[in-house]
Structure 1
Amino acid sequence: MNRLCKDFGADSSTARLDPDRVAGWFTFVWGKASPQTFNVRLAAWRAACAYWREQQWLGGDPLVRLVARSVPRDESRALTRAQVDAVLGLDAALRERVLWQMLYETAARAEEVLMLNVPDLDTANRRAVVIRKGGARDVVVWQTGTARLLPRMLAGHHAGPLFLSDRKAKPSVALADVDLGTGRARLSYRRAAELFDEATAAVAGGPFTLHQLRHSALTHAAEDGASTPMLMKMSGHVSVRSLGKYVRPSAEALARWCAETDPAARLRR
C-alpha cells in the first residue's frame, strides 16, 4: 500500500484504479518476484479493494486482470535431525545458541520469540507468553537444551527485551525495544536472520533460514506421533489446513518407517 501511494499519489481518486493500469503497474513492480511474494502482495490488494467496495469508494474490481500464481510444493524445507543437531551444536555466541535452541524446541515463529521480554519468561516451568500472529496471547514451552543455556544468558537481566543487539539503540528506537540498563536495542529479525545464514553456510545443505527451525520442529514432532491438537498448540495455528504444510513426513522418516515395517525384517527378527 505504501508503494501504491508512492506511485499513484496519496491524494489520487480510486477512480484512477482501472484494471488495465493496475495490472500493468502490479506486474511491473512484482512480476519478477517469487510466486509467494506475488501472491502475498495480491492478497493485500484484494483485502484493500474489498474494504473500499464496502465503503462504496470503489465500484468495480481493479484486480480483475490479475491471477494468483501457482506455488510449487516444497517438500524439503524441514531439516533432517542430523542437520538440526549440527546447527544447534555450532560454536556460536551464547545469544544465538539460546535463540536457535528456543526456536527449535518451542516451534514458535522467530518474530514471536524475538519480541519476548524477560518478564514474559517462566523459567521454573520452562515456558513463556508470546504474542501470536494476529495479536493472540499464547504459551510456548521449551525443553532441556534451552533450560540449560537460558540462565547463563540472563545472568541478572530482569527487565527489557530478552534478545539484545550488540550496539546501543539509536534515539529513534521505541523505548519498549530498549534495555534501559545497557542502552542496547532489541535484536531485529533481519540481523538474527543474517547471523543464522552466515553461521549455517558451512553445514551440509546450508545455509538455512530461521523459519526452517520451526518447520523442522513441527515435522519431527509429527513423525514422533504428536496429535493434531498438540501440533496446533505448538505452532499457534487455528486452522488445520495451515498446519498441513509443516507435518509432511520427511524422506528420512519414510525410510525409517519402511525399514521398521518391512515383513522380511520382522521374519528375520
Structure 2
Amino acid sequence: MPVLLLPTGKALTVRTAADAFLDSLTNPNTVRNYGIALGKTAEHLGEGRPLAAVADDEIGGALELLWGSSAVNTWNARRGAVLSWTGWCAERGYDGPAVPAWAKRLPPPDSDTPVRSKMAIDRLIARRDVHLREKTLWRMLYETCARSEEILDVNIEGLDLAGRRAPVKSKGAKPKVRRRGTVRADYVLETVFWDAGTARLLPRLLKGRTRGPVFVTHRRPGPGKMLSARDVCPDTGLARLSYGQARALLDQHTAHAGPGTGWDLHEYRHSGLTHLGEQGASELMLMAKSRHKKVENVRRYFKPSAAAIVDVTALLAPGDARR
C-alpha cells in the first residue's frame, strides 16, 4: 500500500489535509458521510489555501453557512465530521484551525413518535377481533420496550418462560469492515424482560410448540419463496412473521382514515419507555431497559411524575420538618 507523504506547516492545503484524513478511515460508510461534510467545507474555505491560514472562526462560519438551518441531526453529523478532521490534523502536528467553542453540538430534538396511553394500548389488545398472535406481539413489544425486529427474530428455543426473559440480537454501535471492503453489521446478544401480560399470552400462542419462530404466519410460504431453516417452524411449516406483515396488521386494526394512518410498531417501545419515565424511573434504569448506549437518547423519556417530584422536594425541608 503506497505511503502518502504530507508536506508540513503552511504547505499543507485544505484539500490535501481532507484527503489524507479520509484515506485514514477504514469504514466505507464513514468515508462517504465524512466525505460529504469535508468536501463542502473544503470548497467553502478554498481547497488550495494553506490549512494553517484558516482561522477557527472560518470553520465555524462554514458550518453555520452550510448547515446552520439544517435539522439538528444533520448539523451534529457534519460538525462531528469536521471536528474529527481538525482533531486528526492536530494530533499529527499539522498547523490548522479547530472547531470554535461557539459552534456547539445541539441536543437531539424530542421524538415526534406519538405516545399511546396505557389505557389505549390495553383496550386495543383486549379487542375480540384481534388475533392472539397480534395480542402477544403488541403486549411483548410494550413490556420489553424492545425493537420490533428484535422481538420478531426471537425463536422459541431462546425463551425463558419462567424467568420472563429472552436473548435478542441487537445491532452493535459500530459496523465491522471485511477485508474486501464490504460492511457487516456487528450484532450483540442482549436480554429483554417482560411482565405478567406477556407471560399469560405466550403459552397460549405457542400451543406446545418447542422450536422455531415465536411469531409465524397463518399460511405456509409459496413454493417459490426461499427461506432459511431458522425462519420456518419445523413442526407446522409456517414462516416467520416479517416486519412488513406485522406493521400492516397493526395499521389494519388502528387506521382511522385509510391505510397507512394507523399506529406504528415503534410506538410500543416509545410509549413503554415514556410511561416508565413518567413513573419516575431513573435514567440509568431507562438505559438498562431500552439498551441505549448514550444517555441523551433516553432523556426524552425521563419524565418523573408529580408525586416523585414532591418526594424529592421534601428532601430540602428543614430537618425537624421530616421527623
Measured against the shorter chain, the TM-score band is 0.5 to 0.7
How many Å separate the matches in 2 of 1:142 and 1:258?
27
- 1:19-47 deviation line (CA, Å, top 9, x unaligned): xxxxxxxxxxxxxxxxxxxxxxxxx9862
Query: What stretches of structure 2 of length at least 5 have no aligned partner?
Result: 1-26, 44-65, 73-108, 173-186, 313-323
- More relative contact order, 1 or 2 (CA 8 Å, 6+ apart): 1
**After TM superposition, where is structure 1 displaced by more than 6 Å over at least 4 residues in a row?**
256-261
2:239 aligns to what SS in structure 1? strand
TM-score by length of 2: 0.56
Q: Give the root-mean-square deviation of aligned CA atoms.
A: 3.3
2:231 corresponds to which of 171, 177, 189 = 177
Query: Are 1:78 and 2:115 matched, yes or no?
Result: yes
1:49 CA drift (Å): 2.1
* Equivalent residues of 1:46, 1:63 under 8 A apart: no
1:101 CA drift (Å): 0.4
1:258 CA drift (Å): 9.7
1:97 corresponds to which of 135, 140, 160 = 135
TM-score by length of 1: 0.66
- 1:178-214 deviation line (CA, Å, top 9, x unaligned): 11221111100011001001112259xx721110010
1:233 CA drift (Å): 1.3
Give the aligned partner of residue 240 of structure 1.
295
* Equivalent residues of 1:49, 1:61 under 8 A apart: no
Residues 1:225 and 1:167: Cα distance change in structure 2 (over 3 Å): same
Name the % identity: 38
Query: Are 1:199 and 2:253 matched, yes or no?
Result: yes
1:166 aligns to what SS in structure 2? coil
Residues 1:69 and 1:164: Cα distance change in structure 2 (over 3 Å): farther
Letter in 1 for 2:30: A
1:185 aligns to what SS in structure 2? coil
- 1:149-181 deviation line (CA, Å, top 9, x unaligned): 110111111111110012213441122211122
How many Å separate the matches in 1 of 2:311 and 2:208?
49
- 1:44-91 deviation line (CA, Å, top 9, x unaligned): 98624269x8xxxx9x95566885941674456211222222222223
1:248 CA drift (Å): 4.9
2:161 corresponds to which of 123, 128, 142 = 123
Query: Are 1:47 and 2:30 matched, yes or no?
Result: yes
Alignment of 1:187-226 (within 5 A): 187-201=241-255, 207-226=262-281
1:257 CA drift (Å): 8.1
Give the aligned partner of residue 11 of structure 1.
none
* Equivalent residues of 2:167, 2:192 under 8 A apart: yes
How many Å separate the matches in 2 of 1:196 and 1:186?
17
* Length, aligned pairs only: 206
1:125 aligns to what SS in structure 2? coil
Query: Are 1:147 and 2:199 matched, yes or no?
Result: yes
Residues 1:50 and 1:139: Cα distance change in structure 2 (over 3 Å): same
Structure 1 or 2, whichever has the larger Rg, is: 2
1:167 aligns to what SS in structure 2? coil
How many Å separate the matches in 1 of 2:167 and 2:116?
26
